[in-house]
Chain A
Amino acid sequence: MSEIDMAVIKPEMMKPYIWLETSDGSIQQVEQEIAMYCPLICQEIIQKGMGSSKNCAICLPQRVSPATLSLILDYCHFHQVPGRSNKERKSYDEKFIRMDTKRLCELTSAADSLQLKPLVDLTSRALARIIEGKSPEEIREIFHLPDDLTEEEKLEPLKNTTDDPRIRLLNRLYAKKRKELKERERLKNVEAEEEHVDERSVDDLLSFINGNDGDPKGVKTSKNKKKNRRKKEQQQKNSSLKEASEVNKEVNGQNIRHQSAEADRIAETSNSHTEDVFAHREFDDGDIDDGIDPALKEKIDREVEDFARRLNSDWPERMQELLSSGQERKTILFTPNGNSFLRRNA
């Protein structure tokens, strides 16, 4: 024995060691810098000068068993090294707490007695995660707890919560929220289609007008009157709205609000534009067939002629609109959507 002690002491003289005594009386040597990570041991060393030799070893609390102490020292050994990243520490902690419930309880109790707060928080969260979502029977089974509640005590907390009118109101509000969210998702899809429709109609109309200049036909004047009325009403509404929108732009001066306002407007008008989608699809079919269907072709020709006649009859107003649209382009150039607008024109 003495020879063995002599052999062991020699190489260990290089580093400072302290002596720790656990509740079952066993004494072991630990590196001082690792053990100092525990606040309790740190106090004993600094204030009382304990642990420097085997005779005056630090007596640990009774809740610390040798197996638990080795776990705690592993934890301290990892975390007292400087320079480790938070990610490394978290992954180590995650592996460290993978143990059965009994050892986890023992570890929590021991860490608490050693005042090792980071480890107490870690193990407390682990135990809370075990308890979460479990029924009383499951919790009792996991922790081997006695079922010592009386029947009256068991009945106390149980209550049908749907009797409360507030909860019913809350559920109604949730239902409304879900409906709104679904509608907004639909509106997104419709908006994409709407953009597609608007662009194609412009180009296609221009090409057809150029292609069918010399085919005028007669149409009843009553239809023209109705169309003219609608046109005038729309112009009035548009002019008033333009004034309001221009004022809003100047006042806000913030791009984010402007974009959100545009999104709102697009969403609100998407319902009225659903019919455009169908009309446009029919038009596409005409293109694909290359004029094979004569009935459809005649229909399109009539529509184009109506459009051309209306355009000719309202030429002065048309010129004014072109001038105003030019002004709009100038204002729009300063908005963040200017690039996309230019590309549309090109």
Chain B
Amino acid sequence: MPNKQQNPKNTNATNTTLLSSSCLLPIGNAKLLNNNTTITKTLFYSVETMSLHPNPSLTPPPATPALKPWLNTTATTEPLNPMVLAMHLSDPKSKTLIPNSTLIIMDRTLLLSDELLLRILSKLPNSQQQRNSNSLVCKRWLNLQGRLVRTLRVLDWNFVLSGRLIIRFPNLNHVDLVPGSFTSSVYSSIVVSHRLVSMHVDSAWRIGVEKNLLPVETVDAGLKSLAGGCPNLRKLEVAGCSEAGISTIGAECVTLQELELQRCDDAVLGGVAGCENLQILKIVGCVRGFYESVVSDIGLTILAQGCRRLVKLELVGCEGSFDGVKAIGQCCVMLEELVIVDHRMDDGWLAGVSFCENLKTLRVQSCKVIDGSPGLEEHLGCCEALERVHLQKFQMRDRNGVGALFSVCRNAREIVLQDCWGLDDGTLSLAVVCRRVKLFYVEGCSLLTTEGLESVIEHWKELECLRVVSCKNIKDSDISPELATLFSTLKELKWRPDTKYLFPSDVGVSMGKKGGKFFKRS
């Protein structure tokens, strides 16, 4: 009797299982597709930025010039010139030349013009292996393949000094010279990497000693060579140059729009002022342990008066104070994005930010302190046009500085706090002064609690998007009814304070769950 009763129930259970399992498959597939897309994007990015080139070649052997004129003659004129052929046949070395001329006569790509061959080569996939293969076929293909290269990362400075870079790649518009600016031990397998710098060193290398840096004169000579050969340069990254070198670049490359300067000091900024069309500038003054260059108020003022068309400015490891920031705000009227990374500015610099009238994005990263002494609140001012504030990898233990920062950015509509150590409820309550917040994204702030978050959010009447990720002190059990009501009014809510507390509470009924656990225990 009990066996007969069980059979129909088992059948129903099996059918239900199949149905539910089929429902899950599309979701899984969608995830896989997204991952593939991510991988593809990464691939594309890596290909774009990497080109590897060793030492330039020495002077060619003397036999080559003898062949060059005739080859060039045949290459330029598409039909074979019988007169030239006859002249060479009458030469006493006619035996050795006849096979060579036979090869040239049979060259099938002679029918194709340079433009046509460039078009064919540009249809090939842009991979390192394909570029190497095309470059090694013959001289003509080597030259044409070089014309297709627009972006280059230089690993060996001699490639620039010898002028070979210009001959080989005449159409460059983006050159990254930073890896080549550090003398690497070619035979060493020790790599020292920083966020900004990466180099091979030998076992005798010590942090803080600047012996792996190229001399300024060498860098300037390379820049002079580059400026003469690449008039269409748009983006340049360079380390350790002087005012003369960057002035040459500014004079020759009129279309330069993006510039990154490492080991930059006030004198170099005098040369940067000559780049009139510069829009995006990144200045790296000091990287502790690698080099210690100083960018101060004087440099910032010179920069502000010279580059009035700046749209984005990034200051990494720079000194300065209120005067420098104020000068930038007053002169660079079109500045929209300001990035401060690991700053060493004097107290009171924050008040200068309010002079940036059109600033839309303020990003502060990797700072140990914001502003030791911001001054009175009525003197701070306010960025009227500011929309976004991003604070990342930030020490927010200084409440005066945090309060001053939120006061300057009180018109912000988007606040992003990522990995801000020391951010507790009291510090976050200072953000109440920002009354127009629509998007609030907080991640990796482990001291923050649910009460602290709620006390701030309830003041933001225009809040539309809330994202809380990896804040382990924010508990689901502490959510109050008022906060739950507030959540229901949001357009977007991403609530993942601590993933280990997430359970599939919707899946199945409680009886089934207990049954499962019942057997698990036995």
Contact = CB atoms under 8 A, between A and B. Distances in A.
A201 interface: yes
A125 B123 CA distance: 7
Nearest to A132: B124
Nearest to B6: A207
B107 A143 contact: yes
A276 B520 contact: yes
Contacts of B168: 156
B520 A148 contact: no
Given A148-B67, A251-B488, A287-B6, A199 B138 contact: no
Given A145-B141, A149-B142, A177-B39, A337 B79 contact: no
B499 interface: yes
Interface stretch (A46-54, A77-85, A262-270): A262-270
Given A109-B112, A146-B100, A150-B60, A196 B17 contact: yes
Given A136-B133, A184-B28, A205-B515, A159 B112 contact: no
Interface string A205-227: 10100010000000000000001
B58 A161 contact: no
Contacts, number: 294
Nearest to B38: A177
Contacts of A136: 133-134, 136-137
B504 A265 contact: yes
B493 A248 contact: yes
A131 interface: yes
Contacts of B512: 198-199, 201-202
A168 to B, nearest CB: 9
A24 to B, nearest CB: 13
A135 B133 contact: yes
Contact of B9 (A128, A148, A207): A207
Interface string B102-142: 01101111011100100111011100101111111111111
B13 A170 contact: no
Place the interface of chain A in its size category.
Answer: 35 or more
Interface in B504-522: 504-513, 515-522
A307 B512 CA distance: 13
Interface in A213-272: 227, 234, 236-238, 240-245, 247-248, 250-252, 259-260, 262-266, 268-269
B86 interface: no
Nearest to A275: B520
Contacts of A131: 120-121, 124, 134
Contacts of A128: 120-121, 123-124
28 contacts: A62-B78, A105-B109, A128-B123, A136-B134, A139-B133, A140-B137, A143-B109, A145-B141, A148-B67, A148-B139, A149-B139, A149-B142, A150-B60, A155-B54, A184-B32, A199-B17, A201-B512, A203-B9, A207-B6, A238-B503, A244-B495, A252-B493, A266-B504, A275-B520, A337-B20, A343-B12, A344-B16, A344-B20
Q: Which 5 A-B pairs have the closest CB atoms?
A: A152-B57, A265-B504, A201-B515, A136-B136, A199-B13
Interface of B: 2-3, 5-6, 9-10, 12-17, 19-21, 23-25, 27-28, 31-32, 35, 38-39, 42, 46, 49-50, 52-54, 56-58, 60-61, 64, 67, 71, 78-79, 100, 103-104, 106-109, 111-113, 116, 119-121, 123-125, 128, 130-142, 155, 164, 168, 191, 193, 198, 200, 475-477, 479, 484, 487-488, 490, 493, 495, 499, 501-513, 515-522
